[in-house]
Structures are given as C-alpha cells and as structure tokens.
Amino acid sequence: MKLRIRGNSLRLRLLRGEVEQFGKTGRITETIRFGTSAATQLSYVLEADGEARQISAKFSDNKVTVMIPDQMARTWIESGQVSLMSDQPIENGEQNGTSESVLKILIEKDFVCLDREDDPDNIDAFPHPTGKCG
C-alpha cells in the first residue's frame, strides 16, 4: 500500500494482492521505519469499520488510520470501482471554505504503469484502463 501526503490530502493506493488481503481481513497496515524505536516509525492503516458512516482518518501515536464503512469497502473490493473519496472537516479548523478546512482522502486501486515497464509494482497492479501511467 502506497501513501501519498500532499498539503491537506491523503492518498492510499493498493495493489491487487493488498485489495484481496483487505477483503479477507478488513485491514491492511504498512510501516516506514526511520530508526529502531517505535517513536521513529510511521504506520498507516486502512480498516473496514462496521460503525463508520463515511470515510474518515485519524492520526495518533505515529499512526494514520483511514476507516471505511464495511459495505462501502465491500462494494469497492468486489467491483470495478477504482476509487473512494471523502472530504473530512478538520476539527477546530477555520471553516472559511478553503482547502485548509478539510482533509481530502482518496483510496485507489493501483494500476500498471505503462511508462515504466520495469516497475516492480506492475507485477501485482490492476490493468490500466486508459493505457497511460498516472
């Protein structure tokens, strides 16, 4: 699972095997280690949640957790639907209508990159519907 953070946006991209694992377990986790202690690691988790009403994210103890309602996750996993998107209001943020007042969350199936045929992720990526990398 890839994590991309840019400004107030969070994007997760999953390969086929990861979507399959998520379908079986309802959870997938990755960790990047900057050192050997837990304080120097960042984990990111995608989790199906039976009580969630919408896609949401939280950050606590060096962990980003993105939650998806169970039925929404099931539909995404079992269909050709490519992505799930949500705008989460930022608590105590300025509500002035700017992009800083929301966290944009995007969850996607990761496609084969045709421009980089030697990309190791291509082995487990979804077929690209447009024939272009992106």
Can you give the residue ranges of every domain in the chain?
Answer: 2-115
Give kind and range of the element (H or E) at residue 44. strand 41-49
pLDDT at 42: 96
pLDDT along the chain (134 residues), means of 10: 94 93 97 93 97 96 97 95 94 57 94 63 61 52
* Location of structure tokens 């608590």: 91
- State how far the alpha carbon of 53 is from the alpha carbons of 81, 86, 115, in Å: 19, 11, 38
**H-only helix segments in the chain:** 16-25, 70-78
Q: Which of 95, 82, 92 is nearest to 14 (CA)?
A: 82
pLDDT at 91: 72
Token digits of residue 131: 């024939």
pLDDT at 123: 64
- Amino acid identity, position 36: T
Q: How is domain 2-115 classified at the architecture level of CATH?
A: 2-Layer Sandwich (3.30)
